[in-house]
Amino acid sequence: MCFAVVGCGGGAWWCINRISAARHMLDTPTSKIRSAAQGYVEFYGVLHEVPTVPQQLAPLTGTPCLWWRIKVEESRDNGKSRSWSVVDSRTSEGWLQMADATGECLIDPSGAQVRPTTRKVWYGNSRYPMGPAKSGLFAFFSHNDSYRYTEERLHVGQPLYAIGDFKTSGGGRQGLDLNAAQSEVIREWKGDFNGLLQRFDSNSDGQLDDTEWNRVRLAAQLEAEDRHRQTSARPAVNFMGRPETSQPFILSNAGEDELARAFYWQAAFGALACLLGALAINWLLQNYHG
């Protein structure tokens, strides 16, 4: 009964999740980086190196790349069947950069569904590969080896579809919420209350009266406005990251249409699992009561 309930509930959740992701992609218009509105957006572009940051080396093959994800599995045999158990699974850290014809955007891939087209699976007899991956007949006869390696990578020059939360810093793009900015400055100054007293406690009584607090607020307002002017004067820098809401955050070498088709197929399998789970629950209940 437990497996049937999990299958039914998990299948339903997966179906809804995949359909929702597909609808978000199809309903979000493609934007250009330079003119994109702040918030949830969709871009098409090309992967570039992040300036001043060297490319990484993928751990299993040593291949230079911008991003990698690896999985090492060990074969376990209980005498009746063979299964694979994950012994190492890691994903690279560090930012990506994409560009279109209008500009560039830095991307923090943390929390993203990353779907690269560069994916390699091979086998060996040591926990980590010894030498290059096998190919041809060697690869065919290595399926009985004790370890399976999977490595996925993103490379310079590959196309990238990205949908997520977009923000621009500098370039005069961001507005000023004066009350919030003033409050932030005051909170920062309160972290050094002795310094605050030295600056604004004019009668040296060890506390700030109403008049002195008014001077604090005025000085904080001026400081907030000055900080905003300095930030706005900097060149615009674009960022994409994980949305704070439940909207999907996806980075893929495949385009929107291909991704949506894959998600709809996954939703269909989820619906099938839900149906089979529901039928199993019904059968179990009928036989139990019978």
Alpha-carbon distance 104 to 151, whole Å? 27
Domain spans of the chain, in order of start: 2-170+236-289, 178-233
C-alpha Rg value of the chain to the nearest Å: 27
Per-residue pLDDT, 147: 92
Q: Which of 82, 47, 68 is nearest to 160 (CA)?
A: 47
Q: Taking residues 65-78, what's their average pLDDT?
A: 92
- Residues of the chain above pLDDT 70, percent: 79
Q: What is the pLDDT of residue 197?
A: 80
| DSSP H helices in the chain | 2-27, 137-141, 178-190, 193-200, 210-233, 256-289
For residue 94, what are the CA distances in angstroms to 47, 66, 76, 107, 190? 14, 9, 34, 9, 34
pLDDT-derived band at 87 (thresholds 50, 70, 90) equals very high
259-272 pLDDT, tens digit each = 767 776 777 766 76
> Quick check: helix, strand or coil at residue 120?
strand
When the pLDDT of each residue in the chain is averaged and rounded to a whole number, the result is 82
When mean pLDDT is compared over 50-59, 175-184, 271-280, the highest value belongs to: 50-59
Checking if the pLDDT of 103 tops 80, the result is: yes
Q: How many helices (H) and strands (E) does the chain have?
A: 6, 13
Q: What is the pLDDT of residue 120?
A: 93
